[in-house]
Amino acid sequence: MEIIGVTLEELEEIVTDFGEPRYRAQQLMEWIYKKGVADLSAMSNLPIAFQRCLQEAGFSPSVLLVEGAKQATDGTKKYLFRLQDGLDIEGVYIPEERRKTVCFSTQAGCAMGCAFCATGQKGLHRNLTTGEIVDQVLKIGNDRQTRITHAVAMGQGEPLANYDATLKALKLLNADYGLQIAARHLTVSTSGVVPAIYRLAKEETQINLAISLHATNDQLRSELIPLNRTYPLAVLIKASRSYARTTNRRVTLEYIMIEGVNDGEQDLKGLLMLTAGWLCHVNLIPYNSIPDSPYRPSQPRTRRKFLKTLQNHRVAVSIRQERGAEVEAACGQLRRRLNLDEQS
């Protein structure tokens, strides 16, 4: 059973069921989230009898095993985690001067089947628990011996298809008794699960929303992202605009640029139409190659043309600086694979 995936209130109920005072829950939270300790026997201010009771009942402050890691020259580090049922997931640490970001997974595998993404090639195995999501951030922060300032649900899986566990994990990461990551530094990236977008807007949080857009017409987007057949562009953009209005948070539109596929004049015109008149930001992303893919990244001059044109039309836009491609840790490359001969 998980300690790491429960709220303070839930943990208070657990400790009182063992006959312990409620403040033991706060002590446990401090060991796990503030001190990074995942061994019950090392929590010195807990009675030994209580430690044993928790252990015998199967409660654990750690649910993941770090099976391996690879670090790129830019400092980006990809982690392979082993789940208790033997499945593997990945997480990524991205260091920058003023921020330390973890990109975490919400599912083992993915059912979305996006054409440009390696994660979905083997399908969905299962949803992750709240503890399995949170433990990725904890394990990476402890390994790097740094405070994680930003966290992004942009690893393996569709976060909004595992809504409850993902949202609870984000709240734990944000909580005063948790990692205290500011809500405005937490992001959920979705391929477009429209009902969940409306639901998230009602949560009264400051969590950021990112939409995997990648095409400006339904025919192409349905080829790239099969979910578009269920929630086509008009429906998705309506939900995204509603999220921006309700939360007053700028929605990020992620646009992977693929040569000869979505980087032509009509694509640019379509992007201008979809972004007109609302609070959004376009993130132009160089395509990262995966094995057996027919796609290639757009030319740098094409990306610059998109950037300049959008800027000229007063659309907030940037070109993502890709990190970790050499260790297959960049956007679209996560796929439960790590060459353990090259650990660092």
Q: What is the pLDDT of residues 195-228, one digit of tens each?
A: 999 999 999 899 999 999 999 999 999 999 999 9
E strands in 217-279: 251-257
Distance separating alpha carbons of residues 224 and 285, to the nearest angstrom: 15
- Give the whole-angstrom CA distance, residue 65 versus residue 91: 12
Mean pLDDT of the residues in the chain: 92
**7: which residues sit within 8 A by CB, 6+ positions away?**
168, 171, 172, 175
Q: What would the pLDDT profile of 90-120 be if each residue is shown by its tens digit?
A: 999 999 989 999 999 999 999 999 988 887 7
Confidence of residue 321 (pLDDT cuts 50, 70, 90): confident
Percent of the chain with pLDDT over 70: 94
Q: Tell me the fold of 65-342.
A: TIM Barrel (3.20.20)
Residue 121 pLDDT level (bands cut at 50, 70, 90): confident
Q: Quick count: other Cβ atoms within 10 Å of Cβ 55?
A: 12
pLDDT the model gives residue 328: 57
Selecting among 12, 90, 158, 254, the annotated active-site residue is 90
Q: Is-catalytic flag, 90? A: yes
> Does the 8-56 domain belong in CATH 1.10.150.530?
yes
Task: Report the candidate in 290, 233, 298, 322 with the shortest Cα–Cα distance to residue 114.
Answer: 290
Is there a catalytic annotation at residue 56?
A: no
State the catalytic residue, choosing from 103, 110, 280, 331: 331
Structure-model confidence comparison of residues 245 and 341, the more confident one: 245
Domain spans of the chain, in order of start: 8-56, 65-342
CB 228 within 8 A of CB 212: no
Question: What is the predicted pLDDT for the residue at 293?
Answer: 82
Task: Kindly tell me if the per-residue pLDDT of 190 is higher than 90.
Answer: yes
| Local confidence band at 63 (pLDDT 50, 70, 90 cut-offs) | very high
